[in-house]
Amino acid sequence: MSLLTVIARFPLAHPRVLAVLALAILAAGGWYAFARPGSSEASFLTAKVQKGDIEDTTTALGTLQPVNYVDVGTQVSGQLRRVHVEIGQTVKEGQLLAEIDPIIYGTRVDAGRAQLQSLRAQLSEKQAQLALAEEQFERQSRMIRANATSQDAFQSAQTALKTAQAQVAQLRAQIQQIESNLKGDEANLGYTKVYAPMTGTVVTQIARQGQTINATQQAPTIVRIADLATMTVWTQVSEADVTKLKVGQEVYFTTLGQPERRRSSRLRQILPTPDVLNNVVLYNALFDIANQEGDLGIQMSAQVFFVHAAAQDALLVPIAALAQAEAGQDRAAGKRREGGPPDRGRGTVLVVKDGKPEARPVTVGVRNRVQAQILSGLAEGDEVVIGRRLPEAKRAGPPSGPPGGGVAPPASGQQPARPRP
């Protein structure tokens, strides 16, 4: 005999008693539907333990730049007479790149050399006069000791010697100054020819042939040479993730043109000064990659993955399996969970056995936001709970009726039903 039949036999029962009995019936029916294996009203969402590879990574976006490049400019002003290279050309160190009109600097060098030659001739003359003055002074010195000459003649010979010495010293100083100026003019004349300071590829040509270059304020750039054999990936990492990175850790990336190709390297450097973009603090993490095939270009975008931990051919479960078990334990203990996932190294999953979930402790290894590695406690093919399927009534939504619940109003021309005593 059902409980409803029993209630029906007592029509004069108190309304509060009826309400309590009705709630008991609903609660018992809900528990049975939830706990009964294979119930259509409530069941578990499950997944099987499988083998595969797993990685715990931090993802960021990067840009490729040459590891070494130089902007080649000129130190003198003038018209760019000729450019001997073009963009994309490979050049060797010391190769002639460009020439600036050398006429002005050539005339300065010629004038300095002529002036230097004149001063050297004057120096030869003054050195001859100095030798004569020295001989006359020596003779007057011997004669003054023998009282064979006057004091005035001796003093005149002494003054002529000092004057000749001063003139020779002055000419030597002038010659030294002209030689110094000439070296500067010769250097400027040499700067009219621009040579490659390194071996690489011409990636940019800023100045054009026939253009007038002004080097008064700063050295203007003619071309940029870059070594494309090795590229550097500049990766911007948020301040929330940069503390997870360590110099030397494994990192790999893919490009938009070759998303299936993984290129691996090691983190080389984390720059201490961040970039602030729209109030977001980003740190630059750098690593190098060989470019023997030349398929990596400047300013290419890279999807970068910094690897914190990895495992191959491991037993894997969805991360929801750990969260589901822990949530069930918290509900059973009557407490509210606060925080992130379970502690690394230990956890609990719900394993379906004979149609019923059974809590089982496991040892957890590498984990990410999607999966977790199980080191012990499970076997391949085990079925674990990852969620609960709602009953059909809950999935279909709330029943139709007036807003806020309650009894629907009577149809037009109908009297409202009276409650039975």
pLDDT digits (tens, 9 = 90+) for 46-97: 999 999 999 999 999 999 999 999 999 888 999 999 999 999 999 999 999 9
Dihedral sign from CA coordinates of 328, 329, 333, 339: negative
Question: What pLDDT, in 10s, does the model give residues 98-150?
Answer: 999 999 999 999 999 999 999 999 999 999 999 999 999 999 999 999 998 89
- CB-based burial of residue 347 (10 Å sphere; 0-12 exposed, 13-18 middle, 19+ buried)? buried
* Other residues' Cβ atoms within 10 Å of the Cβ of residue 340: 7
Asked whether 314 and 366 are in contact (CB, 8 A), the reply is yes
Asked if the structure places residue 29 within a domain, the reply is yes
d(CA 318, CA 210): 67
- Residue 185 resides in a domain: yes
Q: In the listed set 158, 191, 224, which residue is the last one of a domain according to the structure? A: 191
The model's pTM: 0.64
The domain boundary, picked from 175, 191, 207, lies at 191
Show which of 132, 165, 191 is a domain's final residue: 191
DSSP run (H or E) holding 50: strand 50-73
- How far from 280 is each of 57, 58, 87, 240, 275, CA to CA, in Å? 21, 17, 37, 10, 8
**What is the number of domains present in the chain?**
2
* Mean confidence (pLDDT) of the chain: 82
Domain of 159? Answer: 102-191
- Is 106 in the same domain as 27? no
267 within a domain of the structure (yes/no): no
In a domain, 145, yes or no: yes
Domain annotation covers residue 178: yes
The reply to whether 55 falls in a domain is no
pLDDT tens digit sequence for 208-251: 888 888 887 777 889 999 999 999 999 999 999 999 999 999 99
Identity (one letter) of the amino acid at 367? Answer: R
DSSP 236: E
Q: Could you tell me if 321 and 47 are in contact, meaning their C-beta atoms sit under 8 angstroms apart?
A: yes
Q: Tell me whether residue 241 is in a domain.
A: no
180: in domain: yes
